[in-house]
Structure 1
Amino acid sequence: MPLVRPDSGLVAYLRAFSAQFRDRLIDARCPQVAASLAFTTLLALVPLLTVGLIVFASLPGFADIAETLQNFLLQNLLPATAGKIIATYAVQFSQKATNLTLIGTSIVVVTAVMLVLTIDRAFNQIWAVSHRRPLLARLSMYWVGLTVGPMALSAVLALIGHVASLSIGLISAPDHWARAAYARGTTLLVLAALFTLMYVGLPNRPVRFAHAALGGALAAALLSLLQRLFALYLTQFPTYTLIYGTFAALPTFLLWLYLSWLVVLVCAVVVAVLPEVSLRGHFRESFAGDQLLGAMQLLEALSDAQRVGATPSIEALAADTGLGLARTSRLLEDMLQAGWVVTSDTGNWLLAIRCSELQLRDLLEGLCLSPKGLVDSRHPLGMALARRLARLHGPFDDPVSELLTEASGRQRGDQIG
């Protein structure tokens, strides 16, 4: 299978990027996850606002700043009419919820945290993270985000508003282009910063700030465009209003949540794929038997690393083999369950068995054709196939180390030739 090198041209790079983007989008099930997050957000909207109000209520000096945050979210993260109706009721409900007892408040907080845990699971799936943070560490981090985050954002918005009043306060015309451009620019900048922090902080994997910033800017721009297109669609095609009448706000808001989360997740896929294509320098399309070849590549890389006393990370293995993080993560998990590899205390990988003790048959049965699985299926064809596989000997009994030596010798011969 020929390798595509991004450095051979822009077209080749885009081809490699689009292939990786497509595979990751499918693996992460972004449309389905966006739908799940939309429903979860709708259920957790009041609890989230309640947590924010409880925090701001404990700090009297932040009352005006809290109003600034509320206005910013209403104007930039919600569609016209429908979103604002839902948000108005949600604020009213959350204000009443601040009078709940300790048990009621605990339930509200748990509901809010459940939404954040769902987001955490979605992001780690996009980044193909197999080892997530401990639950206590995640809860602590998200609790800080739910409490300190709104205050920090409110302070930033208040500062931006103060700077704006000083810098363009001399402009008397309310519709002056500088005033409008400043408002739009600062809105996009704040949204881009929020998404950048989300892409850097949520995955349990190092993310380059430049890649996260690019994804954050893309998400902010797409969300702003989506808001305008969504408002235009509701104006020109009032389908939900005609069907649902007064209750049209709910399905409209739910659709907006779905599209918004889809934008956020798609941009997260972009951020996750960028380092794979740029670092790997090559890309191989998947094919029948690719899983077996990928496992052989990982065994070779781990064997070479173990020979010099190194324990490579999953990022290093993905870059060395050109498999990408998602494919590498899946293969390592399968190999871990088979007992061929183990993880170190630092989360790096090393062989658990010598390649001379591992036969090609083990790889075939562990990754491609499982005789036990065929027998357990209790299907006559499966059981017949399992009996045929049990008779296969010869090359399938060769140790993996022989294949690695053969491939290494042929590669040196090709380089000399």
Structure 2
Amino acid sequence: MFMQQNVLVIENSHTSLEIVSKLVRKAGLNPIGARSLMEARARFSQMMPESCLCAIVAYNLPDAPHGEAADATIAAYIPTIVVTDSVHPPTREHILTKDVVDYIPKENAQNYDYLSRLLARLEKNKSTGVIVVSTHRKSRKNMLSMLHKHNFVVFDCPTASDAMQHLANNKHIRLVITDYAIPDMTGTEFVSTLRKAFAKEQLAIMGIAGGENTLLSALFIKSGANDFIHRPYSHEEFLCRVMQNVEYIESVEAIRRAANSDYLTGLPNRRHFFYTVTVQQSSLPDSHALALIDLDHFKSINDTYGHDAGDEVLKVVASVIEEQFPDEVIARFGGEEFCIYFPETHIDDVIKLLNTFRETLADTIIRFNGETLSVTCSVGVSTLNTQNIEAMLSNADKALYEVKRQGRNQVLKACTE
């Protein structure tokens, strides 16, 4: 069951409380406001503890002038972000002695932008992996602690080989942080090895080293690292660099998804379909099939109920295709036409799967603006024994044309193979 994620906001300034609450809502979270520590305790007592993603706490409150409110939320096991009017070093140092996620000075609007990004990250990070490779025990433990506080899925790796194993088994890893001195190879050799398997747009790598060697940063970057940080580093620098590198990978992924996806249904588009089948699967298997699906009388839905109704039908059809064919290569080819590629699948199984889909779709009720709609489909299938996907598409199209001639709502294998 979905549980609303709350953020406890403790701020005695009405203006600051409104600003922070607005940022919380912008992040898709629910702010629970309090103007004092006493009020915050009362509010928290009425909440389910697990519903609280984090607390944003003013360092100075009338009944908690020296960070006592942060102590209270930390003691309640709530991840805590401290907001402060002061940027004086003693205040910063006092805040960072506490087990806080981060602290945000109020000195300018950009710091509130950072807070907004941080709120979004705390939820995203629960499914974002980060590898730390270092033999420097104190530094490694410090990095792991900060990453855990930001909800990252963290992998503590003493060697490059351990890191490579985790990368092979976990597709959600977005960042590798590696020291220069590691047991089985140098950090720059490790980076170079990683770059043979992962492009900069797929995996961010951050080098780290201490000592007097100022050339290490250049060596890391030349070997393929996205970034470098010199030890000793500040709490803020480390977290900002981590966030920037992870956001870079996510931004590239978002652009790639947009380029490869159909804008309406979210399914892969025709271009991505051909890339997946002909490039990623460089050698097509001997036993394979391709199906073209066309919705029956779709134009009449648009003419009768409007194009918004037609769009809703296409979205529902796409969701049924995704559900019925989780392991196949699927795409919307345009209009009311969809395509499915079946690698390593016998034709009898293909026909059975497609007929199950066809029947499921016919029984699916689609509701739009009080109207109840339904749709059927015609399917042409090709099993042409060829490495040419274009020839298979042509064959499937011929079978689809014959299905329509015979009356629609059927699955038909091309007879010219």
The alignment's TM-score, normalised by the length of structure 1, stands at: 0.26
Structure with more relative contact order (C-alpha pairs < 8 Å, separation 6 or more)? 1
Question: Comparing both structures, which one devotes a greater share of its residues to strand?
Answer: 2
Question: Comparing both structures, which one devotes a greater share of its residues to helix?
Answer: 1
The alignment's TM-score, normalised by the length of structure 2, stands at: 0.26
